[in-house]
A and B are shown apart, each in its own frame.
Chain A
């Protein structure tokens, strides 16, 4: 090997990747040195995950080249990536929960002894590898019983056991506690000192600041900039991520909300019997629901929409008590939900744009009691395509061929047809590009202006800060506090979301 110390361990040049309807990456480059922790940041839809999948061999680039130790290398499968020492630790953990820790580490390449798995050897070897990641658990323990943080360490151990030189971590801390995060960071630092290179993807700029040797920023599928260690700070990162000054983000005119549109009184969400949730939202008000992943925000919206019935408590919509036991009930009470996973819950992917837009409203517009109303469907689809600026060759196009942003607009269009009183949005801009994101923000404001009460769940701090008239912050199933527009700061939200301060200390928030 001719590589010298200055040749980067891994380099990708001019990587372009297209998906139907969207270009995920446009001539993006990235370099990684030996024993370097490189943070890759960017907003949702910036192309981070796609780039990582390409480096790990899960997807192949349409254009561009990858160099390992200075040699051009085609990474055409996960297997090839692993052979070159590149391993991806997934956002969603990939352990077989029913197998032991050791069995997971050796999954797919078990040492054999007379054709049977050499159980004794894998457990002994596993112990050594686990020690490397600072995990002292018995390798016989079933992996599913470990905490998320420990499962993640097992995944790292598995990667190291196949000789990984490059570890790619995709949002590793998104579901970890603070203690677990700290442990993970210690492991990362130790691996770096041993010469392992790490690519670290995160939304949490504080963590990046603490851990990274260098930061690469992606924006809207393009390379936006590189920051060496001494230039890493919060403001510079945000500026590169959003491509403009942050102050511009906070333009938001004050509104005067109307009557109470929806109120919850002592609602108990299944699985969280110890918390009673109460709050109200007024017509024309945008209420943000902040919190960490797993704080119970999605579950709350699902109860309001009747996906799962509430265990106790009452819901009023426009002054009337409703008990939604199915989305059908909720819809008829004037509630609409744009769900978290649009492909699974929001859309019939194999059906046309037109069919998806009319799916909820076609019943009210039926003819002679049972028949479809073609004229209505055509008119409504045309109206929504124009109003929401849905980019599609025609309203007969199957929704699966649309980009994420346009798919999300189709989901919105479906509900706007019914003119809901209360609009619930679960991560409304997840995985969509910056342009479509702005359009969705505009639409939210427009709807609020017309008197719709909007409740939205978001894991993006910028989004909560920008869009909320008022924010509720949840933590482990409870509403920890309520922040008015004046009280709304990143710090306040994080304190409540991590449970480090309860509402009584946070200020005017009401006890729930």
Chain B
């Protein structure tokens, strides 16, 4: 498992060192804190979609779920005066129910995940714009303690070369979520079933696994985590535009998962790899900024790096497979003599 992540981890370190060498602004406490914050927020939503991708499905609605939840939370707690914690529970329940609905449509009605979640992408965006009247929302000044979930910083003191360094709270949330997700995937019955059905759904079903239940759970997890991401992103920016908040985030999340070793065919992936994948995307974005590369090139550069990463992965895999086949043929030939 670790071995598979080595490639992507070394890519992260390479880009990090290269940027640090080329730009004096990169290694500053302010820039790194900002980078860690963004990487953590995107890392969180990528963990959610990883479960769906491992099951062999896809979720395109993440960005719109983030948008809807990001609008609902300030509406509930600032405009309607709902107590903060009830507001949080309600929006997370809404998010989870959205995933549940996706899962039911996909398993019981046998609709394609792409279609179901594509429609979700359109529907939740529309609902968010409609209930808010397309007006920008925020948390005002009354919810500073809640906003600390996203904006909080935990001081670690003086770091040589960086100055006074502070860890953004979302990193803590990412680490906790990441550990829980890794345990869920690798150490539980659910995770075993998920990997099995992602590889071969029919055989999993023929082995007495309730595949529908597992698949529905992955969509619920994905939307729930997207909802959590929506809450954090909203608390971070504090200015939520219903038409654009969270747009395209599903693509960042899917790209991070793929870069992190998830196959869109299903059945493989590691949580650690996905988090690194999300970090690489944000690092690239940050590098483009601090290196003074034209930001119009941003998407092109990120796209090319992902493509190269996936190509390298595929080539390494093929070489390994060929080597193994040769080895097998040799053993077979020997055992005959």
Identify the A interface with B (CB < 8 A).
18-23, 26, 62, 305, 307, 326-328, 330-332, 337, 339, 344-351, 355, 359-360, 362-363, 366, 370-372, 401, 414
Contact = CB atoms under 8 A, between A and B. Distances in A.
Contact of A18 (B188, B200, B324, B329): B329
Given A62-B329, A326-B210, A371-B189, A349 B336 contact: no
Interface stretch (B112-120, B190-198, B232-240): B190-198
Interface string B254-270: 00000000000001100
Nearest to B325: A20
A487 to B, nearest CB: 34
Given A348-B199, A348-B200, A370-B190, A26 B205 contact: no
Contacts of B155: none
Contacts, number: 84
Nearest to B208: A331
Contacts of A347: 200, 203
Interface string B318-337: 00000011001100110010
13 contacts: A18-B333, A19-B332, A62-B329, A305-B206, A326-B210, A327-B209, A331-B208, A345-B206, A350-B267, A359-B196, A360-B208, A363-B189, A371-B188
B11 interface: no
Interface in B172-206: 187-192, 195-196, 199-200, 202-206
Given A20-B328, A401-B328, A414 B199 contact: no
Do most interface residues of chain B lie in helix, strand or loop, or is the interface mixed?
helix
Contact of B206 (A346, A355, A372, A401): A346
Given A21-B332, A305-B206, A371-B187, 20 more contacts: A19-B332, A20-B328, A327-B207, A332-B208, A345-B202, A345-B203, A348-B203, A349-B200, A350-B199, A351-B196, A351-B199, A355-B196, A360-B207, A362-B192, A370-B188, A371-B189, A372-B188, A372-B189, A372-B192, A401-B324
Contact of A26 (B190, B195, B207, B336): B336
Contacts of B324: 401
A344 B203 contact: yes
Contacts of B207: 327, 359-360, 414
Contacts of B267: 350
A348 B336 contact: no
Interface pairs A-B: 9 shortest CB-CB: A331-B208, A20-B328, A18-B332, A345-B206, A359-B207, A328-B210, A370-B188, A348-B199, A360-B207
A306 to B, nearest CB: 9
A332 B206 CA distance: 13
Contacts of B199: 348-351
